[in-house]
Structure 1
Amino acid sequence: MAFFLETLFGGLMTGMLYALVALGFVLIFKASGVFNFAQGAMVLIAALCMARLSGWIDAWLGSDSLLLANILAFVLTAVFMWIIAVIIERWVLRYLVNQEGTTLLMATIGISYCLDGIGQLIFGSSVYTIDVGLPKDPVFILQSVFEGGVLISMEDLTAAVIAALLVAVLAFFFQYTTVGRALRAVADDHQAAQSIGIPLNRIWVVVWTVAGLVALVAGIVWGSKFGVQFTLSTAALRALPVVILGGLTSVPGAIIGGLIIGMGEKLSEVYIGPYVGGGIEIWFAYMLALVFLLFRPQGLFGEKIIDRV
């Protein structure tokens, strides 16, 4: 039972990492109706910027300055992601208002490749580390219940708490703020939103900035755990099944979907993998996403779209 709980908790914590990335997909789609294929590249470039700035600032300030270096690097990286959001809106999105979804999708693919190139040009292509003080040592819990206890990764647990706080803040932002309601109005109809005075350009800058900040948090957590390298961009695309499962328009759905997929991957690999030769963890999420696309394409918490003709 203790081993089962360790596997279950490990899967749940991995699912929270997927959910952090999936939040960026949901934010962009919820506010603009655009499926943002550049979210993985945004996670990468945010993590690269954070890692490099933290190292440069720490070297400039001297010893015993890592905390200050991390704080300054986080602020400067947040400003950098805002600048990227402004550039994307001014040079790409404002020319694509009311265009077909396929056109917007291709635009985000182009943005993804541009961000990958810019990241390599500015910050280099080596593997970097991010040290923000996340606890690395695992701990044992429930020692009085199970012999030897249950092993829990404190780093993964910290990431799970951060993701939960982000979801709470974003849910409040979308439901109870003027800007949040404007974002939802823009997603429903660009022209109608503009006709009642909602500034489309500002709204898109806001939502891409928020998605950039979410990508920054995800990049810090992933970079702290696995290191910052260019495979991070493709690894982030593993969050796609999470979005399909939870629903493209649901912020809580990103978390629930991440938990289900993370838990399912670990449990299926441990308990079914030995009987089929292993490798289930690689394709489990995509197979589950395919099932949902066939029988419930809007996901668990997504809005069902009905077109009347």
Structure 2
Amino acid sequence: MTALLSVKELTISFPVGGVSLLPRRRRVIQAVQDVSFDIAPGETLALVGESGCGKTTAGRATAGLYKAPKGTVSFRGQDIFNLPRASRKPVRRAIQMVFQDPFSSLDPRMTVFEILSEPLKINRMGSAREIRERVQDLIGQVGLPADSLNRYPHEFSGGQRQRIAIARALAPEPELIVADEPLSALDVSVQSQVLNLLGALKRERGLSYLFISHDLAAVHHIADRVAVMYLGRLVEIAGRDALFANPRHPYTQGLLAAVPRIGQGRRKRTLIAGDLPSPLAVPSGCAFHPRCPLAQEICRRERPELKTHSDVAHLTACHFAERKEAA
């Protein structure tokens, strides 16, 4: 199947501190390094990893909010970083983003009706009457009452605000939604409601998602495939069931081992040792080697490439990917 979105060798860095007259002393964070993945029509790809691994930066670049100095993001075969002016608006309309904090992402001075009608007016999607009807339909689709339209964001709970943010993303009828930690600012009781809403919208509209999260339980519920990120690089990509049943990278094994499971009693868990290294001082070779129980000399010298092993659909960046468990 032809990819809806194709990311190839995406690399993004940010300077740290003030501007220096001595370029050699300028410190740079490599937030994303040589990241490549595809998303098919109607597919949900989850991007997971610890805080600070670069997944939000990769997501924002995918949505066109950051322009990468290296690499490409292609939507339906068009490089979104180098589009002619006339082609930019249709692509921006087709890729929408739901941010982590719904309170800060909604304009407090605008009513819900104004928030939802703004993208329709910008994209000239109908007359005033058609826009009003469309907005009323949107607010119903996300499970909020019609009288919500005349209220302001501060009058809603966190879960309701996230529903409004999702409705705004749906307004221009996108094909791909980049959801950046859409559950993390919500109470646990509300997270399942928003998760079920995203799943229902996917089935009804044929939407594709890039679902960015550290919540592996939510990922298991919604994702078709999972990409695991560590210090700016992808270390494993596989189908959801394959990755949860047989994680091959020691980092992925550690992430899954840390997820609490009810009713299984005491069990042996291979937890990740140490803290995430500073992105200003990424370890040589495999960046995970200081925390890896399988690390050997080759891991310190050579960075493993993300590649297939016995299963062509399961990619892993590890010199010892075939080993099932850490020693």
TM superposition score normalised by structure 1: 0.28
State the structure with bigger RCO (CA 8 A, min sep 6), 1 or 2. Answer: 1
- Relative to total residues, which structure has the larger helix share, 1 or 2? 1
TM superposition score normalised by structure 2: 0.27
- Relative to total residues, which structure has the larger strand share, 1 or 2? 2
